[in-house]
Amino acid sequence: TNICYSLDLSYKVSNNVELFLHSDYLKIDGKTDYTKEDTSFTLIPAELGFRYLLGKKKFKAYFGAGGGFYSYKDEHPGLETLNESQIGFFGEGGIRYLFSGSLFIDLKLKYILLKSKTEDENGDTIDLGGLAYMVGIGFSF
């Protein structure tokens, strides 16, 4: 399991709708499957979307969708470093528990659609997206 650092800024458009800007920093260091060489992968997205919130009490469920600009870097010693950017899309759903005041806990599931084509003769597609689950602490002001 790898830790992803996130920042989520939102603006309340109406009582139940938020416009948000979201970014992450994810870095994974590991070894290649066959040769066991060191490898490093870094992903930094910039996402823009809308969220619809349900509920008016301490628990607020929500769902949202949007698009993003995803920058990623794949480094293998002895091989060319891949440094690319792609446009992708996402959908999310979650629940917030509001404490007294402006503090809340956020539990979220997010599915990201992000594919990249390789530059070799096969033109294979690499799926960089997928399902992510997140837990966070937020502050509203």
Neighbours of 70 (CB within 10 A): 22
pLDDT reported for residue 109: 96
The model's pTM is: 0.83
Cα–Cα distance for residue pair 86/74, rounded to 1 Å: 14
Phi, psi of 15 (to 5 degrees): -55, -35
User: Nearest-CA neighbor of 129 among 18, 36, 24, 51?
Assistant: 24
pLDDT reported for residue 1: 64
Residue 122 neighbours by CB under 8 Å, 6+ apart: none
pLDDT reported for residue 4: 84
Q: What is the pLDDT of residues 61-90, one digit of tens each?
A: 999 999 999 999 988 877 777 788 999 999
Mean pLDDT of the chain, nearest integer: 87
Between the CA of residue 55 and those of 15, 105, 133, what are the distances in Å? 10, 15, 22
Q: Are 59 and 97 in contact (CB under 8 A)?
A: yes
Q: Is the pLDDT of residue 34 over 70?
A: yes
pLDDT reported for residue 18: 93
